[in-house]
């Protein structure tokens, strides 16, 4: 019999680590590399060099499978929590004015940046529960996003309004290797914290703009896990809003 703290639906087998689910965005890449691998090994029967290229293609196929992995996550419960939208390292915590297109005002807000290397899971998750208020796509360059503000990079900008009327902003930024930002949502969609909203292919960054007065619960260099790591807590601001309404 399972204890009350055990969830029988949680996969604790080896498949959780060796064969995680793969996002459908990765299927075309895996298929192409897989076909190339088979052809190269077949051609290697005639010319030895093709066998070596086949091994290289096999490695690329395995890496692509690994890159597009889409594991299940367990999101902490609490409507006031802001959750990490991406796997990676907290690379920057600064005050910046959020993009005007997402309607979060003109005052500087704390921005938490999470840098994703090519080895991180690249499926992104909504940091709070609420309704998508604004989405803005901005075309741009593909340069390193690890240590710079990268204002010229391609990006997708979002703001979400919680049921208490608080806005939280977040931005997908394409990096040096990334070549496409993929969004699964549109303005007006309702999401819950930890729900998948998009992905970025091959190395990038996620920025989260905290509402005014909210203090981060993470530090520079900390490892963030999408859908699980708590970045901040809106509790104080939610209570203030309730007090104003009363």
Give me the active site residues, please: 204
Sheet containing 123-125, strands listed edge to edge, beginning at the edge strand earlier in sequence: 123-125, 196-200, 181-183
Give dist(CA 86, CA 203) in Å, integer: 11
Alpha helix ranges (H) inside the chain: 15-18, 27-43, 48-67, 235-245
Give dist(CA 242, CA 29) in Å, integer: 49
Burial of 184 (0-12, 13-18, 19+ CB in 10 A): middle
């Amino acid at each position: 019999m399972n204890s009350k703290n055990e969830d029988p639906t949680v996969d604790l087998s080896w498949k959780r680590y060796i064969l995680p689910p793969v996002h459908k965005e990765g299927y075309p890449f895996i298929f192409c590399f897989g076909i190339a691998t088979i052809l190269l090994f077949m051609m290697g029967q005639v010319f030895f060099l093709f066998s070596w290229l086949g091994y290289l293609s096999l490695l690329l196929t395995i890496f692509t499978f690994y890159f597009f992995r889409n594991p299940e996550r367990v999101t902490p419960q609490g409507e006031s929590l802001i959750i990490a939208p991406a796997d990676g390292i907290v690379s920057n915590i600064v005050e910046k004015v959020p993009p005007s297109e997402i309607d979060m005002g003109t005052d500087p807000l704390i921005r938490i940046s999470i840098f994703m290397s090519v080895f991180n899971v690249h499926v992104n998750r909504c940091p709070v529960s609420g309704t998508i208020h604004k989405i803005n796509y901005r075309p741009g360059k593909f340069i390193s996003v690890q240590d710079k503000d990268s204002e010229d990079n391609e990006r997708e900008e979002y703001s979400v309004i919680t049921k208490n009327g608080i806005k939280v902003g977040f931005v997908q930024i394409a990096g040096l290797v990334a070549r496409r930002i993929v969004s699964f949502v549109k303005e007006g969609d309702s999401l819950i914290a930890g729900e998948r909203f998009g992905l970025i292919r091959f190395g990038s960054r996620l920025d989260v703009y905290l509402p005014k007065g909210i203090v981060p619960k993470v530090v520079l260099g900390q490892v963030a896990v999408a859908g699980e790591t708590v970045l901040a807590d809106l509790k104080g601001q939610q209570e203030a809003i309730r007090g104003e309404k009363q």
